[in-house]
Amino acid sequence: MSATADTNEPVLTGRGLVKRFGTTVALAGVDVAIGRTEAVAIMGPSGSGKSTLLHCLAGIMRPDSGEVHLLGQRIDTVGERRRSELRRTRFGFVFQFGQLLPELPADENVALPLMLGGVPRAKAVDEARRWFAPLGLDGLTARRPGELSGGQAQRVAIARALVTRPAVIFADEPTGALDQATGHETMRLLVEATKHNGASLVVVTHDPQVAAWCDRVLEMRDGRIIGSRYGTADASPQDPGHPAPETTVRGWA
């Protein structure tokens, strides 16, 4: 394959994805392609299949039919052990809340995916700490999750999702538990951090202003994608819909 074709190849594709739960059709044949460093929001009413699509693309759930490819390799048919390894090494996850281990300090929470991959503790924590300053988390490495604000905890979760330098970050309602201003700031950092680190982003959200931070917004109804529009990921932070950033990015790990 030529270098040009490689560059243009989508990072992640889902083709003809169907998923049923009993008589409920959660996905009714979804085709989606996520480009390199592209941020894509998935919107739609409750029960329209957003989380099911994210779970199928992320290898958490197997579709009943259809295919999922990561960088040209089919991943939906590989065994659970290999899928689990792919999730740990090639994907990062940010959920609404409750994803940090309460008994571990923030730096060890971020280091955890590296340690699970066999990196020695000291090296993993050292690597983890490099993510704190760029995400506006200076001085918070020793805090336990209960000692962080909601926005700080989500930024620690973003660091943890990125620490293995994955190809794709999946986020399910990442700002759902935050107030509006903190949610927008968190979303801005999430989009910026994934792009700076060469990763793509797939975000499920109910909030159109959160979705507007993405490059593309997919609209779902009844297990299908019924529309696709461009977001405003390149909009200036001073745009009316996007409050001025409070956290200045000072270089990435």
Ligand X SMILES: Nc1ncnc2c1ncn2[C@@H]1O[C@H](COP(=O)(O)OP(=O)(O)OP(=O)(O)O)[C@@H](O)[C@H]1O
How many residues of this chain bind ligand X (CB under 6 A)? Answer: 11
Q: Which is nearer to ligand X, 52 or 141 (CB)?
A: 52
DSSP notation for 30-67: EEEEE-TT-EEEEE-STTSSHHHHHHHHTTSS--SEEE
Q: Which is nearer to ligand X, 29 or 47 (CB)?
A: 47
Question: Is 89:166 a contact under the CB 8 Å cutoff?
Answer: yes
Question: Does an H or E element contain 158, and which?
Answer: helix 150-162
State which of residues 47, 176, 243, 245 lies at the interface with ligand X (CB under 6 A).
47
HSE (CB half, 13 Å, CA atoms) of 81?
0
Q: Which is nearer to ligand X, 17 or 119 (CB)?
A: 17
Could you say which residues in the range 52-111 bind ligand X, by CB under 6 A?
A: 52
State which of residues 37, 51, 89, 209 lies at the interface with ligand X (CB under 6 A).
51
Question: Is 30:53 a contact under the CB 8 Å cutoff?
Answer: yes
Question: Quick check: 208 binds ligand X (CB under 6 A)?
Answer: no
Binding mask 18-37 for ligand X (x = CB under 6 A): ---x--x-x-----------
CB of 203 to ligand X, least distance (A): 12
Beta-carbon contacts of 150 under 8 Å, excluding residues fewer than 6 positions away, are: 97, 177, 178, 179, 182
State which of residues 48, 152, 186, 194 lies at the interface with ligand X (CB under 6 A).
48
